[in-house]
Amino acid sequence: METTIINESLQTGLKAVGAGLAMVGALGPGIGIGLLVQGALEAIGRNPDAAGQIQTNMILGIAFAEAIAIYALVVALIILFVL
């Protein structure tokens, strides 16, 4: 009975570690979005007439980068609650 409790605790702990490691995948998109916005703001500062087109491209890039972070979150949730 005692080994069962230890095994369940170990399994729960390892799930938490795995989910945390899966969320490391959200670091890249976070940094990428910051760099993307920085570049867009610099471009708008240099050429304010093109602000609409730059903003549209920036939002599209943010959406693609954010999708990767959402995938990392989904994997972490699957590790925690399904496996």
Instruction: Give 5's pLDDT tier (boundaries 50, 70, 90).
Output: confident
Total structural domains within the chain: 1
| Cβ contact 44:51 at 8 Å | yes
Residue 79 lies in a domain: yes
CATH number of the structural domain spanning residue 66: 1.20.20.10
Helix axes 2-22, 51-81, angle to 10 degrees: 170
The whole model's pTM is what? Answer: 0.76
| Residue 37 pLDDT | 94
pLDDT digits (tens, 9 = 90+) for 18-69: 999 999 988 999 999 999 999 999 999 999 999 999 999 999 999 999 999 9
Residue span of the structural domain in which 52 resides: 26-83
Residue 9 lies in a domain: no
**Residue type at 45 in one-letter notation:** G
Residue 16 lies in a domain: no
Residue 34 lies in a domain: yes
Q: Of 8, 18, 11, which is closest to residue 75 (Cα–Cα)?
A: 18
